Amino acid sequence: MIKVEDLRKTYRAGLVEVPALRGVSFEVERGEYVAIVGPSGSGKSTLMHLLGCLDVPSGGRYMLDGVEVSTLGEDELARVRNRKIGFVFQGFHLLPRLTALENVELPLVYRGVDANTRREKAVRALEMVGLGARVQHYPNELSGGEQQRVAIARAMVGEPILLLADEPTGNLDSRTGAEVLDLFQRINDAGCTVVMVTHDMTAASRAKRLLKIRDGVLEGDERV
Amino acid sequence: MDFATTVKMGLKAILSNKLRSALTILGVTIGVAAVIGVVAVAQGSQRQVTSQIESLGTYLLTVSIRGRGADRVLTYDEVMELTAGIDGIAGVSPVVTGSATAKYGTHKYDCSLLGVNEQYAIVRDMKPERGRFFTQVDISTRQKVALLGQNVVTELFGLSDPLGKEIKLNGQTFVVIGVLAARGGGLAGSEDDQVLIPVTSAERLMGRRGVSTFYIKGQDKESVGQISAAVSNRLYRRFRDEEAYRIFDQTQMLQTVTNISQTLTLMLASIAFISLVVGGIGIMNIMLVSVVERTKEIGLRKAIGATRRDIMRQFLFESTMLSGIGGVVGIITGTILARGIASAIKVPAIFPWAGAGIALGLALAVGIGFGIYPARRAANLQPIEALRTE
């Protein structure tokens, strides 16, 4: 489902070119649970952004669900992000002025789904993450673990084929972190491909495959 | 994105920073209120001036004689000869003006005194409410008779009937033969304060000889021009100097006044419009701040699928909403303002419907115009860079 060939990304810092990814190739099948690990500065976040279509590669090819993504325009990338990918970030990134429900509805708003269907789906997604009783709460009324679960509901509400998580447990204590990882497990069991970037080995150990990155190249590919 | 959601999100964003939004809206409100207020008062005063000019009567020519050297006035007979035989004249009347103290018994009233002839009633569309107007005989035999304006009647006679009573004008006795209908304000004071007497008697009473102003009324619009030319011709033959007389065409004057006041209105409205532009700059300023503050939000929205268009629309809608609210509040305050100013300077305020529409349209245009740059800036943010901002 994901096919990456010689993927490269170079950032410019003034006149100096900084290579973040120096030719990475791998494939991920539908339904896999992959953790991308590596020390900070290894390029794993860059890889994550490329996989999430948040950034475009400087070279190489990236096929997502049979579509060559690296050649798509800005609006088409937005469409891919909206329909095929769900994001979970370290910092939750919930909009503070919106309720949990409205936050979860957001991807469907940009998809053009009508209000009733939106609401129905969002409530269901929140129930799935165990927050059915918190739909009208604002993010600042929720604990960190709850906020991250709202974020997961938001990621899953559009039924994406790929869940991308960037250090999802980074801002959580170990107990709530474990709850989040349990959720990922359930999502993966339901057939959704999960790709997680982390340097937390407890989190990484929950995945079924480890991609190790160092200095912008793939250093190891282990299946557990 | 559907419109209802856009509105809801826009409102939430505006309400999330109430003071800031209110101040931004205030900027537009002041701009729109200034435009509306200025236009309303200007149109009101324009209408007042035109109605005053119109109250002189239609198809009216006013001839002023300045004279040449010692030859400064025309005699009454000269005036009548001068205008005799010209086609299209409905009436001619000299006006000799002065002031007098009118006395009846112990009551006294300072009024303006007008010496006119029997045609003055036609020339100024002035019918006596009671009694009769002057006749040609009154004029030629210098009768000491008078017609009184409403205020004069009230002051001298109260509720009793003035007809046939004798009053003293600067000490001379006149018989009241009629009461003029109420007219209200004119360009030179209220016409209800006037006392009319035959021009021939007026010359004696005021110790002045000759006429320096007279009115000619035409039968219709076309004749006014011809009369003006003919009279001008004859006056030139009389004085041999174009500077010796001046003929005012009331219609022309009306035109001139209308033109001037329209230009003034436009000019004042343009000045007021500047404050609307300043209000627009306020919107732009606040939207730029808002884009910076909400970088993370924009990044997140883009990450979950918002297109450039979606972001652009969201921010444009917010700025338009700010200016739209400002516009509506501005129209309301502008109307109140106009009423206040109008009643203070005693002119009618005319609510400019077209002006209100234009001002609201301009306000919205300002919101869109000054919102485009910040909105484009928001739309151009890259999702990862926006998300990285903490």
Q: Do B308 and A55 touch (CB under 8 A)?
A: no
Query: For position A208, what pLDDT does the model report?
Result: 93
Optimal mutation site among B300, B302, B376, interface A, most CBs of chain A within 10 A: B300
H helices, E strands: number in chain B: 13, 13
Query: For position B199, what pLDDT does the model report?
Result: 93
**C-alpha dist (Å) from residue B151 to A64, B145, B168:** 95, 18, 16
- Give the closest-approach CA distance of B307 to chain A in angstroms: 6
Query: For position B352, what pLDDT does the model report?
Result: 77
Whether B13 contacts chain A with CB within 8 A: yes
Whether B3 contacts chain A with CB within 8 A: no
Strand partners, A162: A85, A193
Optimal mutation site among A47, A83, A109, interface B, most CBs of chain B within 10 A: A109
Instruction: Give one DSSP letter per residue of B295-335, joined into a string.
Output: HHHHHHHHHTT--HHHHHHHHHHHHHHHHHHHHHHHHHHHH
Query: For position B207, what pLDDT does the model report?
Result: 84
**pLDDT 10s digits, B137-196:** 999 999 999 999 988 999 999 888 999 999 999 989 999 999 998 876 555 567 888 999
Complex-level ipTM:
0.93
Residues from chain A that touch B302, judged by Cβ atoms under 8 A, are 78, 81
Q: Do A52 and B308 touch (CB under 8 A)?
A: no
Decide: residue A117, CB within 10 A, 0-12 exposed, 13-18 middle, 19+ buried. exposed
Divide the 390 residues of chain B into consecutive groups of 10 and give the mean pLDDT of each group.
84 90 94 88 85 79 87 88 89 92 91 93 87 93 93 90 92 93 67 91 88 91 88 90 87 84 88 89 94 92 93 94 94 90 82 82 91 94 79
Query: For position B46, what pLDDT does the model report?
Result: 85
Residues from chain A that touch B301, judged by Cβ atoms under 8 A, are 106, 110
**pLDDT 10s digits, B93-129:** 999 999 899 999 899 999 999 999 999 998 988 888 8
Q: Do A89 and B387 touch (CB under 8 A)?
A: yes
Query: For position A15, what pLDDT does the model report?
Result: 83
Query: For position B182, what pLDDT does the model report?
Result: 84
Query: For position B269, what pLDDT does the model report?
Result: 85
Which residues, including other chains, have CB under 8 Å from residue B196's CB and lie 6 or more apart? B114, B115, B116, B120, B134, B146, B147, B148, B180
Query: For position B389, what pLDDT does the model report?
Result: 66
Q: In terms of CA atoms, which chain B residue is nearest residue A109?
A: B1
Q: Do A110 and B304 touch (CB under 8 A)?
A: yes
Pick the CATH number of A2-223 from 2.90.10.10, 3.40.50.300, 2.40.50.140, 3.20.20.70: 3.40.50.300
Query: For position B222, what pLDDT does the model report?
Result: 83
Residues from chain B that touch A152, judged by Cβ atoms under 8 A, are none
pLDDT < 70 positions in chain A? none
Q: Tell me the three state secondary structure of residue A144.
A: helix
Question: Structure pTM?
Answer: 0.74
Query: For position B390, what pLDDT does the model report?
Result: 55
- Give the closest-approach CA distance of B301 to chain A in angstroms: 8
Domain positions in chain A: 2-223
Query: For position B184, what pLDDT does the model report?
Result: 67
